[in-house]
Amino acid sequence: MADIKALPFPFPLDRNAVALIVIDMQRDFTEPGGFGESLGNDVSLVAGIVPDVKRLIEGFRDAGLPVIHTMECHSPDLSDLPPAKQNRGNPKLRIGDMGPMGRILISGEPGTSILPDVAPVDGELVIEKPGKGAFYATPLGDELKAKGIRQLVFAGVTTEVCVQTTMREANDRGYECLIIEEATASYFPHFKAATLDMIRAQGGIVGWTAKLDDLLEVLSHA
Amino acid sequence: MADIKALPFPFPLDRNAVALIVIDMQRDFTEPGGFGESLGNDVSLVAGIVPDVKRLIEGFRDAGLPVIHTMECHSPDLSDLPPAKQNRGNPKLRIGDMGPMGRILISGEPGTSILPDVAPVDGELVIEKPGKGAFYATPLGDELKAKGIRQLVFAGVTTEVCVQTTMREANDRGYECLIIEEATASYFPHFKAATLDMIRAQGGIVGWTAKLDDLLEVLSHA
């Protein structure tokens, strides 16, 4: 065990039971010209975290610790897409339609893939998820149990949607969850700030928040 | 179908597929002298919504529509309590310890029960849940499927913790979710406000928000 400086109190890192989970660093959510931008979002805010997410991933790889990646996407036949998600707000472009980088949020399409700078390497678990949370309708829970993981370090986008939803699922399942402030972003900075506050409120009711360098400092000392 | 005035756009109420779900209106979270207050929370903020939650429940009952209640609690032997939840922050009072109104968050204890003013009546489903979300490790999902429910109207406490977590779980599972602003509360008003904003952002990415009277007006016209 080694304590990482964190809020609301130090996080007791257990190298034998920790994994990094990087949420939805997909091209369509982060690249200019992608689906996210076509909805009117300023993707520069989320694209800006890529260097820090990369440093975090490399810190885990260098320490020989597991890295998990998630992608929000659906099967090409849309069998895992609830009508409530497909039709919400009667949008011009729906999931499964042809978008700027292939069919929107469909598994295997170019826009659905993870940004090259933070892409998975051989041997890393990649979870395709139909919801915002990575536990629902995926093998993530079983995979974590099989690996003996009890602690999850969170990064990715967007903070208040897929990251927060997955962190809340993990917290209910008994995982100790730590989110790295510089390695997560939202299209709306005030939502990111509020989410971090909610996570660490009431004695860490959802988990812990920490700065990237404070985690990397501990990771680099084996 | 009847449209309810809501944000970010009208909510298409389907009387044949809607249920009200009232989250964790338990004595220990809302009464002076309870566990919530002993943690330093100002329970008057959450106690203040009781009259509106009661009006909402009665609106559903009068319309002959289902009402579901949840309670956060654990079995007396603590077998459903993850160590990460029990020990978070090394508190003076832990779940299962004797508190001001019986063993804290244990099924069947006085403090765990729902406030009399908004308590379940015979025939209403009551879900005991070990997490913040009401779908994890409970029969809620199966019960909703069996009843043909596709829409959930949310009330209860606290907005950013158990209400939000359950609403996000429901949204991933394809339910159309509407939260009633006056019928939910937090110990921290800015967290309630931020959560409502996050729910209806990006075209209702988690669901809809509405005012109580706008819902009751539609419910009362059969």
3-state SS record for A81-94: CCHHHHHCCCCCCC
Residue A222 has pLDDT above 70, yes or no: no
Question: Which of A84, A132, A201 is nearest residue B175 as measured by Cβ atoms?
Answer: A84
| pLDDT over threshold 90, residue A205 | yes
Handedness of CA A144, A146, A150, A152 (dihedral sign): negative
| Best CA proximity match to A55, nearest among A193, A215, A170 | A215
User: Coil, strand or helix: which one is A7?
Assistant: strand
Query: Following DSSP, what letter does each residue of chain B receive, concatenated?
Result: -EEEP-BSS-EEE-TTSEEEEEE--BHHHHSTTSHHHHTT--THHHHTTHHHHHHHHHHHHHTT--EEEEEE-B-TT-TT--HHHHHTT--SS-TTSEEBTEETTBTT-GGGSBPGGG---TT-EEEEESSSSSSTTSSHHHHHHHHT--EEEEEEE-IIIIIHHHHHHHHHTT-EEEEEEEEEE-SSHHHHHHHHHHHHHHHHSS-EEE-HHHHHHHHT--
Instruction: Give residue for tokens 């402030």.
Output: A181
Taking phi over 0 as left and psi of -120 to 50 as alpha, with beta for the rest, B112 belongs to alpha
Tokens 């609106």 sit at which residue? B59
What is the pLDDT, as a whole number, of residue B40?
83
Closest CB to B132: pick one of A131, A133, A172.
Answer: A172
Q: Which residue of A has its CA nearest to B186?
A: A198
pLDDT > 70: percent of chain A: 100
Round to whole Å and give the CA distance between A60 and A215: 10
In angstroms, rounded to a whole number, what is the distance separating the alpha carbons of residues A133 and B66?
27
Q: How far apart are CA B183 and CA B195, in angstroms?
A: 14
A172 touching B (Cβ < 8 Å): yes
Spatial distance between the Cα atoms of A18 and B140, rounded to a whole number of angstroms: 31
Whether A159 has a pLDDT exceeding 70, the answer reads yes
Q: What's the N-to-C CA distance of chain A in angstroms?
A: 11
- 8 Å CB contact of B84 and A130: no
Q: Which residues of A touch B83 (CB under 8 A)?
A: 174
Q: What is the least distance, in Å, from the CA of A168 to any CA of chain B? A: 7
The residue that leads in pLDDT, A39 or B200, is B200
Our CA angle for B6, B8, B13, nearest 5°, is 40
Task: Report yes or no: B168 at the A interface, CB cutoff 8 Å.
Answer: yes
Alpha-carbon distance values, B150 to B12, B53, B60, B144, B203 (Å): 11, 21, 16, 8, 19
Distance, in angstroms, between A193 CA and closest chain B CA?
A: 10
A166 pLDDT band, cuts 50/70/90, is very high
Is A175 part of the contact surface with chain B (CB cutoff 8 Å)?
yes
Tokens found for residue B200: 């209806």
Here the tokens at position B31 are 């009464």
A132 touches chain B (CB under 8 A): yes
Point out the residue among A91, A132, A174 whose CB comes nearest to the CB of B172: A132
Burial of B140 (0-12, 13-18, 19+ CB in 10 A): buried
Q: Has residue A164 got a pLDDT over 70?
A: yes
A130 to chain B, any CB pair closer than 8 A? The answer is yes
Q: What is the average pLDDT across A64-80?
A: 98
List the catalytic residues of A. Answer: 24, 129, 162
Count chain A–chain B contacts defined by CB atoms under 8 A: 107
Count of residues making up chain A: 222
What pLDDT, on a 0 to 100 scale, did the predictor assign at position B89? 82
Q: Is the pTM of this model over 0.90?
A: yes
Is the pLDDT score of A1 beyond 80?
A: no
Determine contact, residues B46/B37, Cβ cutoff 8 Å.
Answer: no
- Residue-wise pLDDT for A106-148, tens only, equals 999 999 999 999 999 999 999 999 999 999 999 999 999 999 9
The two tokens of residue B216 are 């009751």
The complex's ipTM?
A: 0.97
Are B141 and B135 in contact by the 8 Å Cβ rule? The answer is: yes
Low-confidence ranges of chain B (pLDDT < 70): 222
**First and final C-alpha spacing in chain B:** 11
| Closest residue on chain A to B91 (Cα) | A203
Report CA A65 to chain centroid distance, whole Å: 17
Mean pLDDT of A168-181: 98
Model pLDDT, residue B222: 64
By annotation, the residues of B acting in catalysis are: 24, 129, 162
Cα Rg of chain A (Å, integer): 17
